[in-house]
A and B are shown apart, each in its own frame.
Chain A
Amino acid sequence: MMYSEKVLDHFSNPRNVGEIEDADGVGEIGNAKCGDIMKMYLKIDNGIITDAKFKTFGCGAAVATSSMATELIKGKSIDDALKLTNDAVVEALDGLPAVKIHCSVLAEQAVRSALSDYYTRQGIDPLPIVGEIKEPEEH
């Protein structure tokens, strides 16, 4: 199985690892049984994501996609972050092996899950804005 140089770079030097103490939105996706859990922390100011951090339990691709997803949404508006697709994460990493595509879906959903939490904290129903959060299928 081949990982791109970019995946290996984001795995060995992950960007934005850690927690945000006073985060405005925190999301978690996945389960340990399947081998992947991503936790995403967002700091949001005037509709702009000013900071993003993550913690991930998972394979090389899970770490790299989390790292890349935080890079892609930092400094962006919530609207732009909601437009982040797993395909964009895969493309930014110069591709992923077919068996690892689900990791990019987790990264996309982790961002949405954190935004959903942000709206909930604001007293706003997140469902019409963020949509359903897709948990990985049990198997």
Chain B
Amino acid sequence: MEKRFIYADNAATTAVSEEVLSAMLPHFTKAYGNASSIYKLGRDAQADIEKAREKVAAALGADAKEIFFTSCGSESDNWAIKGTAEMMAKKGKKHIVTSVFEHHAVLHTCEYLEKQGFEVTYVPVDSKGLINPEDVRNAIREDTALVTIMYANNEIGTIQPIEEIAAVCHEKNVLFHTDAVQAVGHVEIDVKKQGIDMLSLSGHKIHAQKGVGALYVRKGIVLPNLIHGGGQERSKRAGTENVPAIVGLGRAIEIACTDIAEKAAVVTPKRNRLIDGILEIPYTRLNGDRDKRLPGNLNISIEGIEGESLLLMLDLNGICASSGSACTSGSLDPSHVLLSIGLKHEVAHGSLRLSIEGDITDEDVDYILEVIPKVVERLREMSPVWEKMMNGEEVK
């Protein structure tokens, strides 16, 4: 078996595509004007930023005036949540609803707000990694300032019933924000139709560069300014615009949000072949609902082995993957996402996430399905946990 290099971690980041790069390049050395300048070089930069804004808006079904460029998805999340909290606190509303398995950009922001005197309700997820809109309804109170629920989970890829959750929020007259960093470009999003008030997205997950993101804020919601200074981003987020990055994001989202269904139809069968192939290994389970998940995501727990060892072994075989193992996070606890869907600690430690795109070949899939069972066998051979399982002993 000839060694291959396979990047199967697109949920972590993606390569900047050639098309995006070529859209960006002129803005480094030729069209380098400051968008605030009066002369043509500056006005052109401003015009290119606005074109990018229109592309982001078009991809979401929003109006260009509702799009604000930021430096990343985490910044967008922080701005939406802390900004809404500050705004609503003045009306005496100091309660936030979120879920237990959000990205840390949301969870840690909520924890920060708790220290500032806000109350946060963390709604549970079921064993398939899905949130019940009724749980959101029951969590909303008179003083609820915001509901923030992720569109699709970054580890297990499950897609939440966003439209239903938004409907519950509006019924109760509460603002709704969603972290859609993993969803944009992979599922059809229409903020107006779905009733989304605020939405965070990131460039580097959709083949733009790292260091650029955006926040959609529905017209009529006036968030406090994030960065005070000049008049950029309608004075809400001051600082000279990163024109190449913004132009790149515009091009990237335009490409990512074209033919979403067709692209999903290409990647889903490959993803399913990987799922079925890996599940042939005994003592494995798929994490997250099989159908209500991102087309390129699979997350499987492999009992008796530990995730970081598995990733290192896969890396030695040229496969880039990810895990919810504690060891990859630098803490001793495994992924909060996997624990939230009811996995035991020792099972959560042995999880594997692959996030693929349509460019993965059938030969790549064959190769992955050849490597993983061998690596698992080798790790299980040296695992005292596996030995206990095979002897029918209790694993503590």
Interface residues of A (CB under 8 A from B): 1, 8, 11-12, 14, 17-18, 28, 31-39, 54-63, 99-100, 102, 139
Q: Assuming the A-B contacts A11-B312, A35-B332, A139-B333, are A56 and B383 also in contact, with contact meaning beta carbons closer than 8 angstroms in the complex?
A: yes
Q: Assuming the A-B contacts A32-B396, A35-B325, are A58 and B309 also in contact, with contact meaning beta carbons closer than 8 angstroms in the complex?
A: yes
Q: Assuming the A-B contacts A33-B396, A63-B309, are A56 and B384 also in contact, with contact meaning beta carbons closer than 8 angstroms in the complex?
A: yes
Closest A-chain residue to B387, C-beta based?
A55
**Once the chains are docked, how many angstroms separate the CA of A18 from the CA of B382?**
6
Which 5 pairs across A and B sit closest by C-beta, in order of nearness? A32-B346, A59-B327, A59-B308, A57-B385, A33-B345
Say yes or no for B349: interface residue by CB 8 A criterion. yes
Q: Is the CB of B384 within 8 A of A31?
A: no
Q: Of residues A14, A55, A62, which shows the largest number of chain B Cβ atoms within 10 Å of its Cβ?
A: A55
Q: Is the CB of A32 within 8 A of B345?
A: yes
Q: How far is the CB of B197 from chain A (nearest CB, A)?
A: 38
Say yes or no for B179: interface residue by CB 8 A criterion. no
Taking CB atoms, residues of chain A closer than 8 Å to B203 are none
Q: Assuming the A-B contacts A35-B332, A99-B330, are A28 and B306 also in contact, with contact meaning beta carbons closer than 8 angstroms in the complex?
A: no
Q: Assuming the A-B contacts A11-B309, A31-B396, A35-B306, are A55 and B383 also in contact, with contact meaning beta carbons closer than 8 angstroms in the complex?
A: yes
Q: Is the CB of B396 within 8 A of A58?
A: no
Q: Assuming the A-B contacts A57-B304, A58-B309, A59-B308, are A28 and B384 also in contact, with contact meaning beta carbons closer than 8 angstroms in the complex?
A: yes
Q: Is the CB of A35 within 8 A of B326?
A: yes
Q: Assuming the A-B contacts A59-B325, A62-B306, are A34 and B384 also in contact, with contact meaning beta carbons closer than 8 angstroms in the complex?
A: no
Say yes or no for B386: interface residue by CB 8 A criterion. yes
Taking CB atoms, residues of chain A closer than 8 Å to B386 are 57
Closest B-chain residue to A17, C-beta based?
B382
Taking CB atoms, residues of chain B closer than 8 Å to A57 are 304-306, 383-386
Give the number of residues in B that approach A within 8 Å (Cβ atoms).
30
Closest B-chain residue to A36, C-beta based?
B306
Taking CB atoms, residues of chain A closer than 8 Å to B332 are 34-35, 102, 139
Say yes or no for B395: interface residue by CB 8 A criterion. yes
Q: Of residues A32, A99, A100, which shows the largest number of chain B Cβ atoms within 10 Å of its Cβ?
A: A32
24 CB contacts below 8 A, A to B, read A12-B316, A14-B382, A28-B384, A35-B327, A35-B345, A37-B383, A37-B385, A38-B384, A55-B384, A55-B387, A56-B384, A57-B305, A57-B384, A57-B386, A58-B327, A59-B306, A59-B308, A59-B309, A59-B325, A62-B309, A63-B309, A63-B382, A99-B331, A102-B332
Q: How far is the CB of A97 from chain B (nearest CB, A)?
A: 8
Q: Assuming the A-B contacts A1-B330, A55-B384, are A35 and B349 also in contact, with contact meaning beta carbons closer than 8 angstroms in the complex?
A: yes
Closest B-chain residue to A98, C-beta based?
B330
**Once the chains are docked, how many angstroms separate the CA of A59 from the CA of B325?**
9
**Once the chains are docked, how many angstroms separate the CA of A17 from the CA of B395?**
21
Closest A-chain residue to B303, C-beta based?
A32
Taking CB atoms, residues of chain B closer than 8 Å to A11 are 309, 312
Closest B-chain residue to A97, C-beta based?
B330
Name the interface residues of B105-134: CB closer than 8 Å to any CB of A. none
Say yes or no for B334: interface residue by CB 8 A criterion. yes
Taking CB atoms, residues of chain B closer than 8 Å to A8 are 312
Q: Is the CB of A56 within 8 A of B326?
A: no
**Once the chains are docked, how many angstroms separate the CA of A33 from the CA of B385?**
11
**Once the chains are docked, how many angstroms separate the CA of A37 from the CA of B345?**
13
**Once the chains are docked, how many angstroms separate the CA of A103 from the CA of B233?**
49
**Once the chains are docked, how many angstroms separate the CA of A1 from the CA of B305?**
21
Q: Is the CB of A60 within 8 A of B384?
A: no
Taking CB atoms, residues of chain B closer than 8 Å to A37 are 383-385
